[in-house]
Amino acid sequence: MTDSINLTYIIVVIVSIIVSLVIHEFMHAYVGHLLGDSTAQEQGRLTLNPLKHVDPFMTVILPIITILIFHAPILAAKPVPFNPDRVKFDEFGAAMIAAAGPFSNLLLAIIGGVLVNHVLPGQTFWSDAFTVFTELNVALFVFNLLPIPPLDGSRVLYAVAPEPLQEVMRTIEPYGLFVIFALVLSAGLGGFLLSLNQSVLNLLP
């Protein structure tokens, strides 16, 4: 993402975050609904209404703070609830629900990449805005597929993991966010994620 931090850039990032996370969380709820679980619908999460998905601190305030400090947003939305006892295909159904979120971000990144590379003229407000939108969605796709609880990638891994590994994942899940923040802020994982993000961006049409 650009190193130029100003009010316009922050507004573009926040709007991109809200749109991207709302679609991400909606897709969790929608796929859960398709697989027979009405939990998200019953709690008002099967909707594109941002107010149902946005957490004021984690979705708005935290990314502003981390943009100003680290020049990159750290963020989260309200998790979409689901009942594994209601979901078809057991653990594989849960993995499908989990994967729906990040893969919706990949689709948004592809759309943004097409607009930036083939539709919008270079060096305009809209081309710059959709560049931010595309980079953000690639970052959400890559980050959420990390196999660390409670990220979506851990739900996918859980479906194929042996029981001992599942037990380890259940044990560390309450502390997962602290582990994730520590790893992202470390040079090792942070550099790896940036490299992976760039690799995905290079593959976009």
The one-letter amino acid at 184: V
Contact 12, 132 (CB under 8 A): yes
Contact 169, 146 (CB under 8 A): no
Q: Which of 25, 91, 135, 173 is catalytic?
A: 25
Taken in order 128, 130, 133, 134, is the CA torsion positive or negative? negative
Is 25 one of the catalytic residues? yes
Cα separation, 132 vs 201, in Å, equals 12
Query: Exposure of 125 by Cβ count < 10 A (0-12 exposed, 13-18 middle, 19+ buried)?
Result: exposed
> How many CB atoms lie under 10 A from the CB of residue 194?
13
Cα separation, 146 vs 112, in Å, equals 23
Containing 77, the helix (H) or strand (E) segment is none
Catalytic residues: 25
